[in-house]
Amino acid sequence: MPGKRHLFAPGPTPVPPEVLAAGAQPVIHHRGPDFRELMRRCLGRLQQVCRTENDVLLFTASGSGAFESAIVNLLSPGERVLVVCAGEFGQRWAALAATYGTDVKELRYAWGETPRAEDLRAALADTGAEVVVLVHSETSTGVVADVEPLARVAREAGALTVVDAVSSLGAVPLETDGWGLDVVVAGSQKALMTPPGLSLVTVSAGAWERAARSTTPRFYFDWAKHRASLEIGTTPFTPAVSLVAALDTALGMVLEEGLENTFARHAALGRACREGAKAMGLELFSPDEERSAVVTAILTPDGIDARELVLALRDRFGITVAGGHGELGERMFRIGHIGYYDVFDITTALAAVEILLAEQGAEIERGAAAARALDAYGETVRV
């Protein structure tokens, strides 16, 4: 079966056949009633998934494009922004904000640490930052931050919160309005079960006020242009209409499953992955807790190069998992369990890792991982 592929990366993620089929419908014009109806339904469903009544703006762009929109619309050059960094994506947003001439302060943790509200309170008091950037699910480490208390601290300090929910939206609980998140950034290609190419922001009233004042030049990612076009049910620039149709179908599936059920499934998948990896004898890099429901970062046994493991999974079995970034690359690999994913995807990933490690002579327990993963899953969600 040389052609069969298993996509277990933390994004892009597998897309259901119904969603692929929706994206393969004939292209419709983006300034007609067919698209208007599609767009309004899709944005309404995104509001439900984001649990917000704020505006949702949809961009034809990767998640990084939507994140850029948040920076350029909220911040003028010289304005102070505090970025909470505990991995690759926190660092990326700090670099992005610096590119646009903002005064970037970082609350920096070692990769894999979980940001703490008391640290953020102190950092806000120190810096007086007007905007705080939080990463909900730090895909590079598997850590899902406890956003609610972090956002509360930011609000108490009078700062706006921007939350990177690219890999978390639809996988773990996120309450945009309930937690007072001003801007939530997400992409189509993770738990929203859609091919990559669309991204979104939610924009609170406070965020709109800041956007009206921002002097940073912007055109393609200008929120005001998007809001004006939304009033007539479209976008200022020709959108990826096929992906909007796909996303709408996928959101319908998410809402049909029920958000709480989706969150429970992801939590159970994360637990299954961690328990299975531990049963095999592997050490986790991700924290072993309920919120770690998006991606599991695992360390290889001593003497086994994770980069070679990742390549062997791909070349021998057609299985894509992710490696680790930078220095972590020698020891870390990451299994995504996001979106259109069931427990047998976990057992497949672990079984493949197991046989490769065994071949390398690693001291691991054969056969334990899949069984333990299934049991752990069943303890949480009925298999």
* Residues at the site binding its own copies, with contacts judged by CB under 8 A: 5, 7, 9, 11-15, 20-21, 23-30, 32-34, 60-65, 68, 95-96, 99-101, 187, 189, 195-197, 217-221, 236-243, 314, 320
- Closest CB to its own copies among 241 and 294? 241
Least distance from C-beta 56 to its own copies, angstroms? Answer: 18
Structure tokens at 355: 């046989």
Based on CB atoms, which residue is closest to its own copies, 33 or 158? 33
CA distance 49 to 83: 25
Closest separation between CB of residue 246 and its own copies, Å?
A: 8
Is the Cβ of residue 142 or residue 195 nearer to its own copies in the bound state? 195
Supply the minimum distance, in Å, between the C-beta of residue 175 and its own copies.
Answer: 26
Residue 98 CB, shortest distance to its own copies, in Å, is 9
Look at strands 198-203 and 55-60 and give their pairing: antiparallel
Of 252 and 323, nearer to its own copies (C-beta) is 323
Q: How far is the CB of 187 from its own copies (least distance, A)?
A: 7
Q: Which C-beta is closer to its own copies: that of 19 or that of 157? A: 19
Give the nearer residue to its own copies in terms of CB position, either 26 or 303: 26
Residue 48 or 215 having the CB closest to its own copies? 215
Tell me the two tokens of residue 305.
């190069």
* Minimum distance from residue 317 beta carbon to its own copies (Å): 13
Least spacing, CB of residue 45 vs its own copies, in Å? 20
Shortest Cβ 281–its own copies spacing (Å): 27
Give whichever of 194 and 204 is closer to its own copies, judged by the CB atom.
194
C-alpha to C-alpha distance for 155 and 297, rounded to whole angstroms? 31
Q: Which residues of 116-144 are buried (b: 16+ CB within 10 A; e: fewer)?
A: bbebbbebbeebebbbbbbbbbbbbbbbb
CB of 96 to its own copies, least distance (A): 5
Q: 114 or 348: whose CB is closer to its own copies?
A: 348
Q: Read off φ and ψ for residue 84, nearest 5 degrees.
A: -85, 115
Q: What is the closest distance, in whole angstroms, from the C-beta atom of residue 318 to its own copies in the complex?
A: 9
